[in-house]
Amino acid sequence: MNDLSRSVPEALECASDGTILRDPRRTPPRYSLPRAVHHFRELLKDKEETSHVFHIFDALPSQTFMPRVSRLGLSPHGEALRRSEPSLPPLLDDHAALRRTPPGSVGHAYCDFMEREGLTAAGLVAEAEKLNRPKFDDLVQWYADRSRDVHDLMHVLTGYGRDPLGEQCVLLFTHGQQPSQGHLLIGWAGAAHIKRITRSSAPVFKAALQAQRTGKACPPLTWLPIRDMLELDLREVRTMLGIPDPTWYQRCHAVWRSEGIDPYKLIAPEKDQNRLMA
pLDDT band at 108; cut points 50, 70, 90: very high
Number of domains in the chain: 1
Average pLDDT over residues 133-152: 95
- Kindly report, residue by residue over 208-249, the tens digit of the pLDDT: 999 999 999 999 999 999 999 999 999 999 999 999 999 999
pLDDT at position 63: 87
Q: Is residue 40 part of a domain?
A: yes
pLDDT at position 244: 97
Average pLDDT over residues 164-189: 93
Q: Is residue 226 part of a domain?
A: yes
CA gap 39, 82 in Å, rounded: 32
Domain boundaries, position 157: 30-277
Q: Is residue 191 part of a domain?
A: yes
pLDDT band at 273; cut points 50, 70, 90: very low
pLDDT at position 267: 56
**What own/partner pairs with CB < 8 Å and gap ≥ 24 does 154-159 have?**
154/221, 155/113, 156/106, 156/109, 156/110, 156/113, 156/234, 157/106, 157/221, 157/234, 157/237, 157/238, 157/241, 157/243, 158/211, 158/214, 158/243, 158/246, 159/243, 159/245, 159/246, 159/249
pLDDT band at 277; cut points 50, 70, 90: very low
Average pLDDT of the chain to the nearest whole number: 89
Average pLDDT over residues 153-161: 98
Three-class SS state of 230: coil
Q: Is residue 11 part of a domain?
A: no
Q: What is the pTM of this model?
A: 0.85
pLDDT band at 72; cut points 50, 70, 90: very high
Q: Is residue 3 part of a domain?
A: no
Q: Is residue 16 part of a domain?
A: no
CA gap 217, 238 in Å, rounded: 12
Q: Is residue 9 part of a domain?
A: no
pLDDT at position 173: 98
pLDDT band at 30; cut points 50, 70, 90: confident
pLDDT band at 11; cut points 50, 70, 90: low
pLDDT > 90 in the chain, percent: 72
pLDDT at position 137: 94
Q: Is residue 178 part of a domain?
A: yes
